[in-house]
């Protein structure tokens, strides 16, 4: 109950006040709950998290990419294409659709940081106000589309762990190809719905984007600076190495990165290299000049860092064995499935899993749901595979509260979108669309194959 109180208090403060002082207060309160061994242990588990360290080092690189003109170059290159001229809604859909597919293979955290900065550059370049709904609409769409992409096939990360738990419990492995067909349809439909409905819901004025003259960006936006090219090249290699470790387990490179260097250490090394190698602009300075980025909001967002540090450990602690929440959920919801049809179980699993993943740890609560629903599915004699697909995919859309996931913490902590009501509107639209479309697609796939 103490942990729940701290978590709810932090979420309420983030929604009504600001980020920094509620985060500091939450760290103190967490240390006093008795869950960590001491106040020092509580501080270490939050501020000493490897994820926090990884985000800080990634911010240095992403911030430098933006400061050195990559965002403006991207805006000019894309908006000046004939296919997009006068078609801002189509441009927005392509932007989100392409990057959804990229997250099948690319690390999501650096992609979030990069795309938020790029979208903010698009908004600034086109002359949108700081409080424009265009920013909320775009940031929310990036959050939804990237999370839709990362779980299309659970072949790596915690998604693979959840899929493995399902296979061990039911004896039915998730067919990646069949799941990919379903999630491709779901992702495409949800993004299309978000782009069209979101534009109306947020009353987005696309006229500035549709009539924007790219020449206003200046001559420097025509080409990438040598410094920016080197930063992007080193960063891309780092992301590919991170992808390699999640795709090819057991290799020498994977073992070294995962067990010795670690992924946060890999991104730290990326930053170090960029602060050493020459920038290529004949000024005798490295690719990343620390003084250029240390005072820039684009480089390091402390609200994001503090929100990630606080909400993710709190959400994880709520579903630990010490709290008793997981067995309580099992005892409460087991009777719900007794005597129900497979279609009811499918729809309930999707809806309730989406609810759970928005209030706690997705992998912990996902694993808690597996032993609850699997006995009833197996007893009905139907193929349990699509139920596992639905559970894994639904567990990934934790975006409504800051503690729902690391991407949610980054989204809710961005200084460019301070209005909590508008942030909630964007995430709720994504959740509702995901819920409706997933129920239809997975239930249809299940009925066709059975």
At residue 220, the 3 state secondary structure works out as: helix
Dist CA 326 CA 407 (whole Å) = 24
**Whats the size of the chain, residue-wise?**
450
Bridge partners of 394, per DSSP, are: none
Same domain as 178, residue 62? yes
Confidence at residue 15, expressed as pLDDT on a 0 to 100 scale? 65
Residue 291 near residue 400 (C-beta atoms within 8 A): no
Buried b or exposed e, range 45-67, using 16+ CB within 10 angstroms:
bbbebebbbbbbbbbbbbbbbbb
Q: What pLDDT does residue 319 have?
A: 63
Considering the domain architecture, whether residues 244 and 293 belong to the same structural domain is answered as yes
Judgement on whether residues 41 and 141 belong to the same structural domain of the protein: no
**pLDDT 10s per residue in the chain (450 long)?**
888 888 778 877 876 777 789 889 999 999 998 888 889 998 998 888 887 888 788 778 877 877 787 767 877 787 788 888 888 999 999 999 988 988 775 667 777 887 898 898 888 888 898 889 999 999 999 999 999 998 888 866 667 777 887 888 788 888 888 899 999 999 999 999 999 999 999 999 888 887 767 676 677 778 888 998 998 899 888 878 876 876 687 899 989 998 899 888 998 999 999 999 999 999 999 999 888 877 665 567 787 788 778 877 876 677 677 777 767 766 776 777 777 889 998 999 999 899 988 876 666 677 677 777 888 888 888 888 999 999 999 988 889 888 778 788 889 988 889 999 999 999 999 999 999 999 999 999 999 988
In a domain, 386, yes or no: no
* Cβ-contact 231, 64 below 8 angstroms: yes
Give 5-10 contacts, CB < 8 A, sequence gap 24+. Answer: 6/30, 6/33, 6/314, 7/311, 7/314, 7/315, 7/318, 7/403, 10/310, 10/311, 10/314, 10/402, 10/403
Q: Is the domain of 272 the same as that of 291?
A: yes
- Does residue 88 contact residue 210 with C-beta atoms inside 8 Å? yes
Give the 3-state secondary structure of residue 419: coil
Does one domain contain both 145 and 248?
A: yes
Do 101 and 171 have their domain in common? yes
CA–CA dist 29, 79 (Å, integer) = 48
Shared domain check, 55 and 172:
yes
* CA 45 vs CA 1, 6, 259, 302: distances in Å: 19, 15, 19, 18
H or E segment and range at residue 393: helix 385-394
In this structure, the number of other CB atoms found within 10 A of the CB of residue 294 comes to: 11
Q: Do 44 and 187 lie in a common domain?
A: no
Does some domain include residue 88? yes
Listed in sequence order, the residues at least 6 apart from 310 whose beta carbon sits closer than 8 Å to its beta carbon are 10, 23, 26, 27, 30, 46, 403
The reply to whether 359 falls in a domain is no
**Domain, as residue range, for 195:** 49-321+394-449
Query: Contact, 438 vs 186, CB < 8 A?
Result: yes
Evaluate whether residue 309 is within a structural domain: yes
In a domain, 154, yes or no: yes
43 with 182, same domain: the answer is no
CA distance 153 to 370: 18
Half-sphere exposure of 113 (CA within 13 A, CB side): 26
What tokens does 289 get? 């000049």
For the chain, how are helix, strand and coil distributed in percent, rounded to 5?
75, 0, 25
Contacts of 393 (CB under 8 A, 6+ apart): 151, 179, 182, 183, 186, 438, 442
DSSP sequence for 91-113: HHHHHHHHHHHHTTTS-HHHHHH
Number of structural domains found in the chain: 2
53 and 33 within one domain = no
Determine the pLDDT at residue 347.
94
Whether residue 339 lies inside any domain: the answer is: no
Residue 290 dihedral angles phi and psi, to the nearest 5°: -60, -35
If we measure between CA atoms, which residue out of 179, 87, 99 comes closest to residue 388? Answer: 179
pLDDT score, position 141? 96
Whether pTM exceeds 0.75: no
Same domain, 164 and 15: no
User: Are 242 and 103 within one domain?
Assistant: yes
Identify whether 383 is part of a domain. no
Residue 265: strand, helix, or coil:
helix
């Amino acid at each position: 109950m103490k942990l729940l109180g701290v978590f709810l208090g932090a979420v309420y403060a983030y929604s009504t006040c600001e980020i920094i002082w509620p985060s500091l207060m939450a760290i103190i309160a967490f240390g006093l709950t008795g869950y960590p061994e001491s106040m020092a242990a509580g501080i270490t588990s939050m501020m000493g998290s490897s994820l926090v360290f990884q985000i800080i080092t990634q911010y240095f690189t992403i911030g430098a990419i933006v400061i050195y003109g990559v965002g403006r170059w991207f805006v000019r290159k894309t908006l000046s294409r004939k296919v997009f001229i006068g078609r801002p809604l189509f441009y927005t859909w392509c932007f989100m659709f392409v990057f959804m597919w990229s997250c099948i293979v690319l690390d999501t955290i650096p992609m979030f940081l990069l795309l938020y900065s790029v979208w903010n550059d698009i908004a600034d370049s086109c002359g949108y106000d700081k409080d424009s709904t265009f920013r909320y609409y775009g940031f929310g769409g990036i959050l939804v589309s990237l999370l839709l992409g990362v779980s299309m096939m659970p072949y790596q990360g915690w998604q693979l762990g959840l899929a493995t738990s399902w296979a061990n419990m039911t004896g039915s492995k998730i067919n990646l190809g069949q799941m990919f067909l379903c999630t491709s349809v779901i992702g495409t439909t949800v993004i299309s719905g978000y782009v069209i409905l979101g534009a109306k819901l947020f009353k987005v004025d696309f006229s500035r984007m549709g009539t924007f003259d790219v020449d206003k960006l200046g001559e420097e936006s025509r080409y990438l600076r040598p410094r920016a090219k080197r930063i992007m090249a080193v960063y891309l290699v780092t992301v590919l190495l991170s992808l390699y470790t999640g795709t090819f387990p057991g290799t020498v490179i994977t073992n070294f990165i995962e067990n010795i260097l670690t992924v946060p250490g890999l991104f730290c090394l990326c930053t170090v290299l960029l602060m050493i190698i020459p920038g290529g602009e004949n000024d005798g300075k490295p690719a990343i000049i620390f003084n250029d980025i240390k005072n820039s909001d684009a480089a390091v967002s402390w609200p994001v860092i503090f929100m990630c540090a606080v909400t993710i450990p709190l959400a994880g602690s709520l579903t630990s064995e010490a709290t008793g929440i997981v067995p309580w959920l099992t005892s409460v919801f087991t009777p719900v499935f007794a005597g129900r049809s497979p279609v009811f179980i499918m729809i309930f699993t999707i809806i309730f899993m989406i609810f759970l993943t928005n209030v706690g740890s997705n992998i912990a609560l996902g694993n808690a749901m597996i032993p609850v629903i699997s006995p009833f599915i197996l007893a009905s004699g139907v193929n349990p595979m699509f139920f596992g697909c639905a559970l894994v995919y639904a567990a990934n859309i934790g975006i409504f509260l800051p503690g729902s996931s690391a991407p949610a913490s980054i989204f809710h902590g961005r200084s460019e979108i301070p209005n909590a009501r508008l942030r909630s509107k964007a995430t709720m639209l994504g959740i509702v669309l995901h819920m409706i479309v997933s129920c239809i697609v997975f239930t249809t796939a299940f009925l066709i194959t059975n």
